[in-house]
Structure 1
């Protein structure tokens, strides 16, 4: 299924808005969850997480996507400007294209 440019733009904006304004409550739940299984993980919204690690010493390390970069990208889209964050935008756009190709 091929998407129009407008649909792609809408998906990008929605993704950036989720990164910029999204809730991290489920990530906090993940930190304090004693027992992890796929049933629990499938219910969590972990969209804002860029990386999860379990260090050798125990515990869990969670890294989040940069909210400020997402906001800068949104500002660029709304203002039609370009800056060094446009590379971030291009990477997101390429990710959407790759995702769409994988779904086909």
Structure 2
């Protein structure tokens, strides 16, 4: 029986050493590249009339932390996103002029 207790202590000691050597989780906030016009703040949604098109939250939903600004802001962000995105098309790029008349033009 003493051998089993000693063996269990060895196992627990090795497990605790392994856990100490592992790297802890570090949160890195996601980066988001917005390709459109600036999105209004949550406070400005009502003034701009965006909230007129979203139903009022119920008391039960409000108790859970839900407000009608969340779906409205998400819809506005999705609508504004990529509005100014321009895909680079290699066919439509402007040809560079060559410096020397005898050199071929680059595309």
TM-score tier (shorter): under 0.3
Greater RCO, CA 8 A, separation 6+? 1
| Higher-helix-fraction structure | 1
TM-score relative to the length of structure 2: 0.25
| Higher-strand-fraction structure | 1
Structure index of larger Rg: 2
TM-score relative to the length of structure 1: 0.25
